[in-house]
Amino acid sequence: MVEARAAGIPMKLVVSFETSDLGEREFFYDQLIIKSGDNFRKEIDLYAYKPSPVIVFEPFINLGFV
């Protein structure tokens, strides 16, 4: 989808990434390329990391009478 914008008018961009390939990679990589009519080109690197659990261990565990 191409949308014309006047210079200086902000816009919000939401990038969504989905894949069915969950191989042994640590992260996935792609690029967002922004082009304009006057030969401007900007490449923005995108990285998507695999979800991983966050495990928090208590610093002190009271096992009571064992």
pLDDT of residue 51: 75
Contacts by 51-59, CB closer than 8 A, 24 or more apart: none
Does residue 42 form part of some domain? yes
pLDDT in tens, 5-44: 787 888 888 877 777 776 777 788 888 888 877 888 999 9
In-domain check, residue 10: no
Does residue 41 belong to any structural domain of this protein? yes
Residue 46, in any domain of the structure? yes
- CA-to-CA dists, residue 25 to 48, 55, 63, angstroms: 11, 21, 39
Contact between residue 31 and residue 46 where contact means Cβ atoms under 8 Å apart: yes
Specify the pLDDT at position 2: 63
Structure pTM? 0.49
Contact 33, 41 (CB under 8 A): yes
Residue 47 domain-assigned (yes or no): yes
Domain count, the chain: 1
**Domain interval for residue 39:** 24-51
Residue 28 maps to a domain: yes
C-alpha angle 50-42-35 in degrees, rounded to nearest 5: 110
